[in-house]
C-alpha cells in the first residue's frame, strides 16, 4: 500500500477512537477545564485556575486528547492555560515513561470537525512524538481548514516545487508552485512562491491574491498640528459626498481624487497622491460590495496613526507614528452587509523631520480569520 493509502486506512480504523474520548471524558477533568474557561480579564479567576491547571497537568496521558480538544483560540488566555497544560502532560508522561496515545492524537488531528487551533496543537505534539507518521500526512494538509496544518502542507509543496526546479523540470515546478499558491495565505510563503514563479516566467497578482483594496478616493490635507486631527471629526467622518468641495488645512479647498494603486501590496502613497504634507490628515474612501453578509478581518498596514470606519462606524484606531510598518500589523473584525458597504480610512501624518519619518501611506485588505482573502468587489458608483 502507498503511504497515503495506509494513512487513510489507519484513520478510518481509528475513527471510532476519535469520538471515544469524548464519551469517556472524565467529568472531573471537564470541571477543571470549565474552571480554566472562567478565566476573565485582569487576572480574575486566576487562583481557581491555578489549582485546576495543576490537576490537569498531572493527568495521565490517556486524558491528553481530551485536554487538547478543549483548546479554543477564541478565548486566548484560556487557550494558553490549555496549551501549556498539554505540554506539561506530554513532558510528565515522557519523564515517567508513560506511553502517550499517539493513535488518539492522530485521529484527533485528522478530524476536520475539531477546532482548527486544537488540531494545530495536536500537530505540534505529534511533531515531537510521531514525526515520521506526521511527515507522511503533511502533503494532504494543503487544503486543510486549520491554518497551522495548511501552512505545513504549503511548505511541503513549495519544497517539492523547488526540487522539481532543481531537476530542471520547469513546467512541473511551475504547476506545483501554483498548486501551493492556490492554498497559501501567509505572506512569507506567498512571496516565496511568487518570486520562484516569476523566475519561471509567471507573474502572480499579489494584490488580488492577498485581497488588497486597490481603488480609493482620497482627500486631504486636513489639519493635524500637534496631533489634533486624530480626534477631530472632519466632514468625511460625518458623510462622504465624492463631488463635494471641502475646506481643508489652512482653508484650502479640497476635492476627492480617484486613486488606483498599482503597488503589488496595495500600498497607497499619500505623499505621491496628495503631495508631501506634514501635520496633516487624509481620508481614503471606497465602497466594498460583498456577495453575502460576512464577518471579515480587515487587516491594515500603516506607518502613522489611523482610524478605520465601516458603514459609518469606527472599528479601529491606533495613534502611533513612524515606529514601523508591516503588512497586517493592524487587524479589526468587521461585519460586511450583503451589497455595498462604506469603508473610510483616516490616515494622519505628524511633523517629525527625520528622513525615516516622512512616509505617509497605508494598505488595507479583507480576509477571513486565517488571512485568506474574502470575496468582494469595489463598487465606486452608487453606494448605500
Partner 1 sequence: MFKLKNAWLLTAFLSFHGMGLAADWPQFRGPGGSAVSTEDNIPVQWSAKDGIAWKVPLPGRGLSCPVVAKDRLYLTSSSGYKESRLHVLAFDPKNGAKLWERQFQSTGNTTCHPKTCMAAPTPVTDGERVFALFACGDVAALDRNGNLLWYRSLATDYPDITNMVGMASSPALWKDVLILPMDNAGDSFVLAIDAKTGKNLWKLERPRTINWTTPLVADHVAKGANVVLQTDNSLVSVDANTGKEVWSISTTGPTTIPSPTLSDGLLLAPGKETLVLDPSNNGNAPALKWKSSKLVGGYASPLVHKGVVYGMSSIGLNAMDARDGKEIGQIRMKGPFSGSPIIAGNHLYLVNEEGTGYVVKLGEKLELVYTNELKDTILCTPAIHNGKMYLRSDSSLYCIGNAAK
Chain positions contacting partner 1, by CB under 8 A: 39, 41-44, 46-47, 49-50, 53-54, 57, 73, 76-77, 79-81, 83-85, 87-88, 91, 124, 151, 186, 188, 303, 318-321, 323-326, 329-330
Q: Which is nearer to partner 1, 91 or 208 (CB)?
A: 91
Shortest spacing between CB 45 and partner 1, in angstroms: 9
Taking the complex as a whole, how short is the minimal distance between the CB of residue 255 and partner 1, in angstroms?
Answer: 32
Q: Which three cell numbers stand for residue 188?
A: 512569507
CB 169, min distance to partner 1, A: 29
CB nearer to partner 1: give 254 or 310.
310
Closest CA to 320 of 299, 302, 333: 302
Q: How far is CA 25 from CA 65, 87, 105, in A?
A: 10, 19, 15
98 vs 255, which CB is nearer to partner 1? 98
35, 224, 249 from 229: Cα distances, Å: 46, 4, 10
Of 187 and 215, the one with the shorter C-beta distance to partner 1 is 187
For the bound state, the minimum distance from the C-beta of residue 343 to partner 1, rounded and expressed in Å, comes to 21
Our CB check for partner 1 shows the closer of 325 and 380 to be 325
Our CB check for partner 1 shows the closer of 30 and 128 to be: 128
Q: What is the DSSP string of 65-105?
A: HHHHHT--TTSHHHHHHHHHHHHHHHHHHHHTTPPP-HHHH
Minimum distance, C-beta of residue 134 to partner 1, in the bound complex (Å): 16
For 236, residues 6+ apart whose C-beta sits below 8 A from its C-beta are: 219, 246, 283, 285, 344, 346
Question: Hunting for cell 496521558 — which residue is that?
Answer: 61
Q: Which is nearer to partner 1, 16 or 324 (CB)?
A: 324
Contact 26, 66 (CB under 8 A): yes
Do the Cβ atoms of 347 and 306 come closer than 8 Å? yes
Least distance to partner 1, CB of residue 4, Å: 26
What is the separation of C-alpha 80 from the centre of its chain, rounded to a whole number of angstroms? 18
Q: DSSP class of residue 212?
A: B
Closer to partner 1 by CB, 41 or 239: give it: 41
Q: Which residue's CB is nearer to partner 1, number 17 or number 316?
A: 316
Q: How far is the CB of 161 from partner 1 (least distance, A)?
A: 19
At its nearest, how many Å lie between partner 1 and the CB of residue 199?
24
Cβ-count burial of 226 within 10 angstroms (0-12 exposed, 13-18 middle, 19+ buried)? Answer: exposed
- Residue 95 CB, shortest distance to partner 1, in Å, is 9
Using CA atoms, how far apart are residues 331 and 297, in angstroms rounded to an integer? 6
Which are the contacts of 157, defined by CB distance < 8 A and separation ≥ 6?
139, 142, 176, 177, 179, 180
| Placement of cell 472524565 in the chain | 26
Q: Which is nearer to partner 1, 14 or 317 (CB)?
A: 317
Distance between CA atoms of 169 and 201, rounded to whole angstroms? 14
- The Cα-based distances of 126 to 115, 122, 149, 281 in angstroms read 17, 6, 12, 51
Residue 314 main-chain phi, psi, to 5 deg: -70, 130
State the minimum distance, in angstroms, from the CB of residue 85 to partner 1.
Answer: 7
Amino acid at each position: 500500500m502507498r503511504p497515503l493509502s495506509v494513512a487513510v486506512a489507519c484513520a478510518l480504523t481509528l475513527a471510532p477512537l476519535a469520538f471515544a474520548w469524548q464519551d469517556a471524558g472524565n467529568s472531573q477533568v471537564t470541571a477543571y477545564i470549565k474552571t480554566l474557561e472562567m478565566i476573565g480579564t485582569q487576572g480574575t479567576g486566576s487562583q481557581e485556575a491555578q489549582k485546576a491547571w495543576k490537576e490537569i497537568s498531572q493527568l495521565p496521558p490517556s486524558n491528553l486528547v481530551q485536554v487538547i480538544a478543549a483548546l479554543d483560540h477564541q478565548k486566548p488566555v484560556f487557550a494558553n492555560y490549555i496549551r501549556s497544560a498539554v505540554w506539561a502532560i506530554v513532558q510528565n508522561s515522557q519523564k515517567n515513561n508513560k506511553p502517550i496515545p499517539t493513535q488518539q492524537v492522530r485521529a484527533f488531528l485528522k478530524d476536520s470537525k475539531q477546532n482548527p487551533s486544537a488540531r494545530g496543537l495536536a500537530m505540534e505534539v505529534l511533531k515531537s512524538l510521531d514525526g515520521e507518521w506526521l511527515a507522511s500526512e503533511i502533503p494532504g494538509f494543503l487544503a486543510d481548514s486549520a491554518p497551522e496544518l495548511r501552512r505545513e502542507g504549503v511548505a511541503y509543496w513549495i519544497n517539492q516545487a523547488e526540487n522539481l526546479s532543481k531537476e530542471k523540470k520547469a513546467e512541473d515546478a511551475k504547476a506545483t508552485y501554483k498548486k501551493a499558491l492556490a492554498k497559501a495565505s501567509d505572506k512569507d510563503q506567498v512571496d516565496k512562491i511568487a518570486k520562484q514563479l516569476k523566475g519561471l516566467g509567471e507573474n502572480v497578482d499579489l494584490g488580488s491574491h492577498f485581497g488588497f483594496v486597490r481603488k480609493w478616493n482620497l482627500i486631504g490635507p486636513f489639519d493635524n498640528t500637534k496631533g489634533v486631527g486624530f480626534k477631530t471629526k472632519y466632514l468625511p467622518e460625518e458623510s462622504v459626498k465624492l463631488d463635494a468641495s471641502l475646506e481643508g488645512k489652512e482653508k484650502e479647498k479640497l476635492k476627492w481624487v480617484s486613486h488606483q494603486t498599482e503597488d503589488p501590496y496595495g500600498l497607497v502613497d499619500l505623499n505621491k497622491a496628495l503631495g508631501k504634507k506634514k501635520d496633516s490628515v487624509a481620508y481614503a474612501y471606497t465602497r466594498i460590495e460583498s456577495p453575502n453578509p460576512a464577518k471579515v478581518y480587515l487587516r491594515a498596514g500603516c506607518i502613522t496613526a489611523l482610524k478605520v470606519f465601516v458603514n459609518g462606524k469606527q472599528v479601529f484606531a491606533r495613534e502611533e507614528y513612524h515606529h514601523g510598518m508591516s503588512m497586517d500589523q493592524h487587524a479589526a473584525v468587521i461585519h460586511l452587509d450583503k451589497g455595498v458597504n462604506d469603508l473610510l480610512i483616516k490616515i494622519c501624518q505628524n511633523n517629525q523631520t527625520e528622513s525615516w519619518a516622512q512616509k505617509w501611506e497605508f494598505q488595507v485588505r479583507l480576509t477571513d480569520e486565517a488571512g485568506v482573502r474574502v470575496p468582494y468587489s469595489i463598487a465606486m458608483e452608487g453606494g448605500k
